[in-house]
Amino acid sequence: MSDPDLRSNHDPDSHDDPKAQWERFTADQRNYLEQRLARISDAKEAGQHLQRRPSHSPPVLSFTQERLWFLDQLEPGSIVYNRPWGLRLSGSLDLAALEQALSDVVHRHEILRTTYAVKDGVPIQIIQPHRSFVLPIEEIRSQDRGTVEHELTRLSQQATRKPFDLSADRLFRPHLIRLNPTEHVLLLT
pLDDT along the chain (189 residues), means of 10: 56 65 83 82 66 69 89 88 89 94 93 92 90 88 87 90 91 92 93
pLDDT at 150: 93
pLDDT at 84: 83
Domain borders along the chain are: 1-49, 63-188
pLDDT at 5: 61
pLDDT at 17: 72
Would you tell me which CATH number, out of the four given (3.30.559.10, 3.40.1160.10, 1.10.3720.10, 3.40.980.10), belongs to the domain 63-188? 3.30.559.10
pLDDT at 53: 63
Three-state SS for 87-147 is EEEECCCCHHHHHHHHHHHHHHCHHHHEEEEEECCEEEEEECCCCCCCCCEEECCCCCHHH
CA angle 66, 71, 75 (to 5 degrees): 150
CA distance 173 to 160: 10
